[in-house]
Chains A and B, each alone.
Chain A
Amino acid sequence: MKNLSTISKSRKLKQGAAFFILSLNLITYNNCGGGFYATQEFSSESGVLKSSFQCEDQNLSSKSGSHFLSKKQYINTLEDLFGVAVVNEVASELSSLQNDNFDEESRNKISTLDANTIQSYHNAATEVSNKVVDNTTRRANVFGSCANQTALTSTCINTFMNNFGLRVLRRPLMTTETAFINSILAGAGTNSEKLKAMLGYLLQSPYFIWRIELGDSTNTTTSFNLTDYESATRLSFALTDSTPDVTLLDAVKNGQFKTDEEYKAQAFRLIETAKGKAKVIDLIQHWSLSENPQDLSGLPAALKTGLNLSGIEQAMVTEVRQFIDHIVFKTPGTFQDLLKSKLSFATHTGLASIYNHAPATLMAPAEMTERRQGVLMRAPFMTWSGPRTNLIKRGVEFQKRVLCNQIPSPNVDIADDRDAESFTPAEMLENSNRENVAHQTRGPVCMGCHSAINPVGFAFESFDSLGRLRPREQIFDMGDNFYKYINIDSSTFLMTPDNKRYPIQDAYDLATYVADSSEGNECFVRNVHRYLAENPESNSDGCHLNSAFNNLANTKLPIKDVVIDIVLTNNLKRKIAN
């Protein structure tokens, strides 16, 4: 079987190489590869879309590894177990935890588990225990009838272990764990000291910090069934980035989490929770490159005249999140809706001005009237801190994240050549941003990658560094003084995966291409899988990803359904051990 993780690379290789051949009729070294593949015809795009996911065996087990809780998952879990107030009170201890660090493309979590990290977990667990036990209400919530007993009894401690202990470890406690807690009970110290130690132990347990999956204890084969508790944990973290809630754990305890229908019911419930919605919105924000608008304060005054930029970056992010929420949860909409809807939720006057409509209200979203549509053409992705847009950044990030084509970091050999080809500062003033980049990257070696990067960047040139549509580019000198206007040319063409030239007028057409092409739909499915599973796709994922692709691209199910479809596979039930 072809390794799925290599497929997107193959596409990239062929894309870069094909244009290279077309445009230069010459083959030379390029850092974007040299392969040449053809897997589908572009003509099929008008009919049934096809993915390159290979489905050979429906029953292959998931290769998904055991994960440590990310910082976000750890904090979410504490919030769900103890409340937001406790999390706020231990903020200083939590600040020492390692920030989440994911491989940008594969979403593999990059673990840095060392002595300092363990120390941080220890400090956080100790402080959370203190904050819970020293507060009457929290103590009662966690320890029930043990909270106010003069002498702690084994009965109430057993209840604590069976109820709250199960919530913390996401499964019933093992004999060694109950024995240790009972030894604390029998040991020296005050009630408070004992309760703090019991809770502190559970919060430092490797089974709390580590979502380790061992399956049924009698199973020693290399591929095994997960326990129902482990499946529930996978489902919950995939959909909410948090620990299973009481409803889900009760379902498992009562034997009501075994069938596909029961899985589905829980999944649809979880995705509608606040954390479930937040996770899907996070995921789509990540995919659509709209997480981090740049600081716009340094732009030349001439670009900002008459524009309210106070709090604009936060307003951009808020608007994108409201848009995604509307499309995915309120409509609920399809992938095409996400990419083609012209609704805007920009209530901020500056952002509304950028989007060229009157400020919206929460009850009455506005409509974009020009060549702007969907989530990919919103301001955060297009912002840049300088007057010349970062054309190359736009091209690289879009190719990588939205089209799943691998663009390697600049090779120094190529960077050196590229820099040598730059216009002089005086020449740059006479040329548009597009012309400057085209000139700088025109060399054969550069074009290996820039044949893929530049067209995307060119298409987005109809937007300035604030994300405003513009018919012409304002050229500024090094002192940020206005120099001249140059008309915008955003027309270009994409190379499709079957090496055909696809002409586009601008980014509007590019967004349409993503919505309607196999390439765009497939990449979205990959992104969803990677984000939820915290793993790149493997051979065992081919069947369900292909199914999800068909639901997204051909059946055109709502995005929410497709997300659940990707989570609800036999990956929730079986795992490869080694």
Chain B
Amino acid sequence: MKKNKKDIQNRFVSRRQFLVGAGQTFLTIPPLISLMPSLLSAQTVASKKVRSVIYTGYLGIDKRHMDPMTPSDLITGPGFQTRYKMLNSFSGPISRMIDSSFQPLYPYMNLIKGLSLTGGRYQGHSSSWLAGAHSQLRNPTRGRTLDVLMEKSASVYKPEDSPVAKAVRISSEHGLPSYDTANGVRLSSSYVQGDLSLFNLLFGSLQSGSGPSQTNINKKLIVDQVHADLKKLESDRRLSSEDKQLLDRYMSGVFDLQKKVNANNSGEGITCTKPALALEVKRISNSYQFPGNTGWGITSTNKLFENYIEMIRLAFMCDLTRIVLVNNMIWDDRPIGPGSFGGLHHECPSSETSADRHKYGLLQMAKLATALMNTPDTLNGSGNLLDNSTVFYTNEMGDWTTGHSVRNMPCVLFGKGGGLIKTGHYVDYTNLGPGSYATGRPYKQVLQTIMRSMGVTKAEYIQHGDGNGFGDFMEGINQFGKVYPNAFTPYKDEHNEILPFIT
């Protein structure tokens, strides 16, 4: 990806920030970081501004498509029921979905297998896998997805931070698997569709110039007055309980807006220049179409992702946001609508076709990872953006058919997460021990690993789940009426920890 110095020309880097960055340079370039103890890496992470991208596709990936071409090559890792192989020791394609074009990224990625949802029951279309939970309930009334958890964590954003958006979510017509629960009510996160919407969200409110203009002063007056109007409503006894819940969310949103307007007026806001991009959003009638709808060809989809990638790169570089969730269920130009999923597995004639479509999403994340790898991390003062980010490629199921299994869900994790994550591995956590059911580790451990890289503490994330930790954990499984007792018992003491081996 072409680097543009103009993109960062107005970014203020204080002397203090420079010194901090210089110090981190020393810390983060020791030889063989993968050999450092996790604790030391974690300490490094805590002082950095780490970013996270989570890419989710719809329906499932055939786990066989992630298998290495020669599985017998894998090395058994000590103590972890883990098998692995260094990516750069493979010759040729690693698997159906990881071909040799990924080679430049090998030092920055892990291909992970053997992670399963551990709620006691497999169920696809899980709606809750990003909360580390199974989906016995289609609309869970507890838990919090990791993007929301990170967005709301005081460990990720400090009071002095004023990003344009704490989290950005990009999705298609079919909604978004991101949610929070409050008072037993599931609140879905909002999302943007198309590159123009993303552009407006990230760059629309940026101002340039030395002091606040009268326009900006008026903006502040207006937002303050709107907040006062809401405050007055708060005490109105005629409001229903439902209205009061809406009011709380409304006030919270206006409060965030106040902070941004104030930061902008005080000159503390981000002043990166707006990128010049040929945006691809199309308008049909009164609705704004996401690629995949009729009339949107693959060329446009390529361009759209190119724009997404560039905007995410700039947003990370300028600290406009640190959390991005991309939910893409469209892999070709077939229409979406009731009963049609844009050419995914219900319509795929074979698992090969399904793999091609899922691979498209993986390639986009590889392009993003490459762009981040090629961009210096000015904000942290050392390394590149991929050193201090994670790009997580995942799906909601572990198979491509209508089996709806969430066992053994393959994923790819790019980036070193600020130094927490050791990269360069093909790693398979599938438990092959006597009496096991080949389930592998709790999937939520990879989510916890990402959260920890962002600075979220264990004490924070374990609050959001079934009472025993983040997400769900049960020792046994009941799948389609078949009982697998104690399938996850080996992990009962460590399911709230981050993944071993790669940290």
Contacts and interface: CB of A to CB of B under 8 A. Distances in A.
Interface stretch (B66-74, B236-244, B307-315): B236-244
B257 to A, nearest CB: 5
Contact of B230 (A111, A194, A206, A384): A206
Contact of B249 (A95, A113, A176, A397): A113
Nearest to A66: B243
A363 interface: no
Contacts of B403: 415-416, 419
Nearest to A126: B219
Interface string B193-228: 110110111001100000000110111011101101
A471 interface: no
A184 interface: yes
B402 A419 contact: yes
A113 B246 contact: yes
Size class of B's contact patch?
Answer: 35 or more
Contacts of B188: 101, 110, 112
A116 B201 contact: yes
A468 interface: no
A123 interface: yes
Contacts of B242: 65-66
A95 B256 contact: no
Nearest to B404: A412
- Counting chain A CB atoms within 10 Å of each CB, the highest count among B201, B215, B219, B294 belongs to B215
Contacts, number: 199
Contacts of B404: 412, 415-416
Interface in A92-130: 92-93, 95-96, 98-99, 101, 110-120, 122-123, 126
Interface string A184-208: 1001111001101100110011110
Contacts of A160: none
B173 interface: yes
A114 B138 CA distance: 22
Contacts of B233: 206, 212
Identify whether the interface residues of B are mostly helix, strand, loop, or mixed. Answer: mixed
Interface in B160-182: 165-166, 168-169, 173, 175
B337 A294 contact: yes
Interface in A469-499: 478
A294 B196 CA distance: 26
A210 B191 CA distance: 20
A577 interface: yes
Nearest to B190: A112
A387 interface: no
B257 A122 contact: yes
Contacts of B246: 66, 68, 111, 113, 210
A313 interface: yes
Given A72-B286, A114-B249, A393-B338, A219 B138 contact: no
Nearest to A93: B200
B294 A123 contact: no
B335 interface: yes
Interface string A68-107: 1000100100000000000000011101101101000000
B334 interface: yes
Contact of A118 (B166, B187, B236, B253): B253
A117 B190 contact: yes
B240 A578 contact: yes
A416 B482 CA distance: 12
A205 B294 contact: no
A372 B218 CA distance: 62
B480 A116 contact: no
Interface string B229-265: 1101100111111110010011011101100100000
Nearest to A392: B339
Nearest to B294: A295
Contacts of B204: 93, 96, 123
B173 A99 contact: yes
B469 interface: no
5 contacts: A95-B196, A184-B218, A197-B218, A219-B238, A415-B402
Interface of B: 122-125, 138, 165-166, 168-169, 173, 175, 187-194, 196-197, 199-201, 204-205, 214-215, 217-219, 221-223, 225-226, 228-230, 232-233, 236-243, 246, 249-250, 252-254, 256-257, 260, 281, 283, 286-288, 294, 334-335, 337-340, 347, 349, 401-404, 480-481
Q: Which 6 A-B pairs have the closest CB atoms?
A: A118-B253, A112-B190, A197-B218, A115-B256, A292-B337, A189-B214
Given A114-B253, A194-B218, 17 more contacts: A68-B246, A98-B191, A110-B188, A112-B190, A116-B190, A116-B253, A117-B253, A119-B257, A120-B200, A196-B215, A200-B222, A205-B226, A292-B337, A412-B122, A412-B123, A415-B404, A478-B349
